[in-house]
Chain A
Amino acid sequence: MKPNMPLVTLLSGAGLGVGVLVVSMLSPSSTSSASGYGATSPASATTAATSPLTPATASASESATLPATAAATAPATASATAVASAPATAPGTAPGAVPTATASAQKADVPAKADYVAQVNGGGAAVAISVHAGKAVAYVCNGHAVAAWLRGTATAGKLDLTGKNGARLDVSYRSEKATGFIMADGIKYTFSAPLVHRVSSVHRPPGLYEATGMVDGVSIKAGWVVLPGGGQVGSVEYDPSSAVAPTAQAPVLDLTTGTAQYDGITLVASLISGFTGSGF
């Protein structure tokens, strides 16, 4: 009797499925990537070294960049705040850090309250940074699948913010502009973002906007970077508390009403402004 080939096909498909499932289960707990994209969270970077599924090149570059960035940021922060032993970790827990920062901030032309927005170099994404009294929020999105929120402290012209999935940044800000890079979803966005100057207008000002809502029982979180001149880039995340939230294009934010229509619901956007302190 000749073998039942259709059954063989089915069983090999099932076997392949189980194999891929096992590979997925063994891979690091964030978006894994053989090309060096993704897998940028510290957690996955540490496991990358031991994971047999991550190629050596990826794990090598991860482990090389992370300590390098940490080493570069830590001394800079320490020297700027003139607190030699201040660790670069535990944002907001060192009560002495904020007054020190403010003191040196004025010397170094660092504003205590500021908003910056810009397209990243080369276009393709936009970034917004809001700084308010030692705290800061940054958002970068490409209007499609990339969106990252970062929060943390602003000290002496340097930002120490973190976000999900290894989102991190290296940004210096002054009264004119904020420059540096943000890593989000494994992509490095460099930029030089000018300070947003408020203009009285019926329109919502340029800056960072956020809205949350529920669509069919799933929570969503939308973010928009509204650029000077009225352009905007926005992404919407589904189930934003999940490890890797599915992300898509945000609906157009009506700058007259501050609302957006999405999947039958009305999203009401609020401005996250370091200048006014709203959203902090």
Chain B
Amino acid sequence: MTAQPEASSPAPGDVSLGIGKLIVPSLIGGLVALTLGVYGRLHHPTGVVVNIAGFTSAGYVKSWLATVATVFGIVQVISALVMYGKIPRVTAPSWIGTLHRWSGRIAFLVAVPVAVNCLYGLGFQTYSTRVLIHSLLGCAFFGAFTIKMLILPKRGLPGWTLPLAGAVVFTVLIGIWFTSAFWFFSTFGLHR
């Protein structure tokens, strides 16, 4: 999420060589997702959830953190569209790269404690469709994000790789939010 797409560096090598550079990051990302899922499945859920003062329950803490991450995720997509010149009549301001990098970092760092609480306290669960989808997407998110981060510094990749990776990360994040925070707020009410 810290891309400066179409930056100065030229693309050396041909396209097939570029795609080859995706193999190792993809394997590592897959391993990250798999590790999280296996840990969540094997580790016995403790139910331990650290609450924060001012919130009714840890569920609200997680839902609000997930919502913050999702809002920054939306900033990610908008800033990326601006950077790529996809929004008509909007020229990318000089600070758009910084905005994109930092909104991504914040979204990621805010999502991490939520994921730890989920995996440690609740584990990888399958007892309903919502929960199964959430468990799968939650693990997939960190795998996809890892891939995105690992391919960012690489040069000579096909032009579609970063937008695709970003789109996957964002789509998964939205899926996570709808199967958790949205469900939580609509079930238990929208407050702290």
Q: How many chain A residues touch B (Cβ–Cβ < 8 Å)?
A: 45
Q: How many chain B residues touch A (Cβ–Cβ < 8 Å)?
A: 43
Residues of A contacting B57 in the complex (Cβ-Cβ under 8 angstroms): 31, 37-38, 145, 185
The digit string for B24-58, where 1 denotes a CB below 8 A from any CB of A, is: 00000000000000000000011111111111111
Stretch at the interface among B73-81, B85-93, B113-121, B171-179: B113-121
Are the CB atoms of B51 and A242 closer together than 8 Å? Answer: no
Interfacial residues, chain A to chain B (CB-CB below 8 A): 4-7, 9-10, 12-13, 16-17, 20-21, 23-25, 27-35, 37-38, 53, 55, 144-145, 185, 215-218, 220, 238, 242-246, 248-249, 263
In the complex, 26 of the A-B residue pairs with CB atoms within 8 angstroms, ordered by the A residue number, are A5-B2, A6-B152, A6-B153, A7-B150, A9-B105, A16-B112, A17-B112, A20-B113, A24-B46, A24-B49, A24-B50, A24-B116, A25-B48, A25-B120, A34-B50, A34-B51, A35-B52, A35-B53, A144-B187, A145-B57, A185-B57, A238-B125, A243-B45, A243-B47, A245-B47, A263-B127
The digit string for B118-153, where 1 denotes a CB below 8 A from any CB of A, is: 001110011110000000000000000110111011
**In the assembly, what is the distance between CA of A248 and CA of B188, in Å?**
9
Indicate if B108 sits at the interface (CB-CB under 8 A). yes
Residues of A contacting B55 in the complex (Cβ-Cβ under 8 angstroms): 35
10 interchain residue pairs of minimum CB distance: A244-B47, A6-B149, A33-B51, A6-B152, A243-B47, A20-B116, A34-B53, A218-B127, A35-B53, A20-B113
**In the assembly, what is the distance between CA of A249 and CA of B188, in Å?**
9
**In the assembly, what is the distance between CA of A27 and CA of B51, in Å?**
11
With A21-B120, A24-B116 already in contact, the answer to whether A34 and B101 are too (CB < 8 A) is no
Residues of B contacting A242 in the complex (Cβ-Cβ under 8 angstroms): 45, 47
Residues of A contacting B49 in the complex (Cβ-Cβ under 8 angstroms): 24, 31-32, 244
Residues of A contacting B1 in the complex (Cβ-Cβ under 8 angstroms): 9
**In the assembly, what is the distance between CA of A28 and CA of B47, in Å?**
11
Residues of B contacting A243 in the complex (Cβ-Cβ under 8 angstroms): 45-47
